[in-house]
Structure 1
Amino acid sequence: MKRSLLLYGIVFSVLINIFQFVNSSNILKRSEEVSTISKKELKKAQDTIAKLRDNDTFSLATNENAQEYYFEYDVKALQTKVKEDLTAFNADKKGNKYVSYDQIGDNPFLINNIKILNHRWIIANFSDGKVWGEVLLKYFHNADKPTEFETVETLIYQETLN
C-alpha cells in the first residue's frame, strides 16, 4: 500500500513537472512572438514618423523655394525672430492684437504655437485657456525693424464642456 502511494506520488509529480515544462515553454514562445510583433510595430511607427518629418512640405525649414527668398539670412535665426516678434504682442492686456476676436471670458486670447509655412504665411493657434482657435497671418520680415504682420483669417472653435 505504501509502495503504491509512493508510486502514485512519483507519477503525479512527474506529470506536474511535465505540465509545468510544457506550459512554461508555451509562455516563453508566446512572449517571444509578442516581442517580435512589438518590435515590428515599433519599427513601422518609427518609419512613419520619419516619413512625416521628411514630408513636412508646409514649413519654411524644408521649403527650398521659400528659403531662396531669404538667401541672405540664417533661416533658423529668422524663424526665431519672427516667432518672438509675434509672441511679443501677447504682453498686451487685451491679448494678442492679431487674434481678431475680442476677449470672451476672464482671460485674453494669446497665441500659443506658431508654424511658419513659407516666406509669407504663418499659421498659429491661440486660446484663452477655455476657447481655442487658429489664425492665418501674412508676415513681412524687415532686417532692421520688427516683423510686420497682417491677419488674413481667424477661426474659433466652439467651447467644449468637460
Structure 2
Amino acid sequence: MNAKKAKESYDGKIENLMAKIEEKEALLKSRDVEKDSLIDKILDLTYFSLESDEEAISYFEEQGYVAEELALTISDQIVSQNKAGADNPIVPFVGMEGNMAINKVRLLNHKWIIADFTDGVYWGQLFIIYDVRKDGVVDFEVEKSFLYPRN
C-alpha cells in the first residue's frame, strides 16, 4: 500500500513539474517573440539614419571622413549654437516663452537632417539640408520647419 501511495505522490510531483516546465517554455517563447518584435522595431527606427545608410557612409569615407565621427561633429555644431539668452540661429522662430534651442538632431543620410526644438513651451521640428565642403566646413540650410500650435 505504501508503494502505491509513494508512486501516486511521485506521479503528482512529476505532473506538477511538467506543468511548470510547459509554463516556462511558453514564457520563453513569448519573450522570444517580444525580442524579435523589438529587434524589428529597432531596425525599422534606424532605417532612416546615417548609421544604417551604407551609401551615405561610403560617400563620407570617399571624402576622407569617418562617418560616425563626422555625424557627432555635425550634431555638436548644431546643438552648440544653443546659447544662454539667445535663440539658436538655425531655428527660424523667435522664442516666445524663452530662447529657442535645439534638443535632438538626427542625421538621416549624407545630405539631410531632422531636428527638434523648443523654447520650453512651444516646440517644433526642422528639416535641414547640409553639405560638408572640401575644407571641412559644414553649411546648413533649413529647408522646412514648423511650430506646433499651443493647446
1:40 Cα offset (Å): 3.3
Q: Of the two, which has the highest radius of gyration?
A: 1
Residue of 63, 74, 77 corresponding to 1:85? 77
**What pairs with 1:7-156 in structure 2 (closer than 5 Å)?**
33=23, 36-55=25-44, 56-70=46-60, 71=62, 72-91=64-83, 93-105=85-97, 107-142=98-133, 144-156=135-147
* Deviant stretches of 4+, over 3 Å: 35-41, 142-146
Post-superposition CA distance 1:82-141 (Å, at most 9, x none) = 001111111263221111111111x11111111100110000111122222111001112
Structure 1 residues 39 and 128, CA, compared in 2 at 3 Å: closer, same or farther? farther
Aligned partner of residue 50 in structure 2, secondary structure: coil
Percent sequence identity over aligned pairs: 26
Q: Give 5+ residue unaligned stretches, structure 2.
A: 1-15
Give the stretch that moved more between structures: 129-138 or 50-59: 50-59
Q: Match of 1:118, as an amino acid?
A: N
Match of 1:16 in 2: none
Give the stretch that moved more between structures: 95-104 or 136-145: 136-145
Q: Number of aligned pairs?
A: 136
TM-score normalized by the length of structure 2: 0.75
Q: Match of 1:88, as an amino acid?
A: S
